[in-house]
């Protein structure tokens, strides 16, 4: 696999070796040993999640204030613009974000360690999104930062449209009011 650091070095783009021909393709989507070597430490995943969303749906920016989750994310159908926001107050990249297009055709994955808020925007008619997490979902500890926080100024590729949001995501906190790490 090819591993590339983003503008926030802790967030990594992972590109598997894809073997394809006229019949289709094959790739190893996860290998614990290779992943640990790539990021330089052992990470244990405890939960796999799968979501399907329509075009224009924006999910996030989510995180858990306790039981923080690292996430290894990818799109297996369609395309998404995936965003990670550093919300670790002690980090030199606190308050910065990175975004990456993940799609069924580019096979890219994004490693987002604990301490980040995460969200994505669906770019195609629909997208199916898979993510492995390093901690269990804990609804009592889940928090949401506003997708349109002006201090973050995330450049979502909305093309002038408004995203489709859940009630929770529509009422996300501004970064300066959010509970952070």
pTM reported for the whole predicted model:
0.96
Count of structural domains, the chain: 1
Active-site residue, 131 included:
yes
**Alpha carbon distance 149, 171 (integer Å):** 11
Q: Which of 107, 118, 131, 181 is labelled catalytic?
A: 131
pLDDT digits (tens, 9 = 90+) for 109-133: 999 999 999 999 999 999 999 999 9
Structure-block tokens of residue 25? 């393709």
Domain of 170 in residue numbering reads as 2-177
End-to-end CA distance of the chain: 31
Predicted pLDDT at 168: 95
Active-site residue, 62 included:
yes
Identify the band that residue 48 occupies on the pLDDT scale cut at 50, 70 and 90.
very high
CATH number at residue 139: 2.60.120.10
Taking CA atoms, 93 is separated from 35, 54, 115, 120, 154, in Å, by 23, 32, 11, 20, 15
Q: Which of 62, 63, 107, 118 is labelled catalytic?
A: 62
């Amino acid at each position: 696999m090819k591993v590339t650091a983003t503008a926030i070095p802790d967030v990594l783009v992972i590109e598997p070796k894809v073997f394809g021909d006229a019949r289709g393709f094959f790739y190893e989507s996860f290998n614990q040993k290779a992943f640990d070597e790539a990021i330089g430490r052992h990470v244990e995943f405890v939960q796999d999640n799968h979501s399907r969303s329509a075009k224009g749906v924006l999910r996030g920016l989510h995180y858990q204030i306790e039981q923080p989750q690292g996430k290894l994310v990818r799109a297996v159908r369609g395309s998404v613009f995936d965003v990670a926001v550093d919300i670790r107050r002690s980090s030199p990249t606190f308050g910065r974000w990175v975004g990456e297009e993940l799609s069924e055709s580019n096979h890219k994955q994004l490693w987002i360690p604990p301490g980040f808020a995460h969200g994505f925007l669906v770019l195609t008619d629909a997208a199916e999104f898979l993510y492995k997490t390093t901690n269990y979902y804990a609804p009592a500890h889940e928090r949401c930062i506003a997708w349109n926080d002006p201090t973050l100024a995330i450049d979502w590729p909305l093309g002038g449209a408004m995203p489709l949001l859940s009630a929770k995501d529509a009422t996300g906190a501004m970064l300066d009011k959010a509970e952070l790490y």
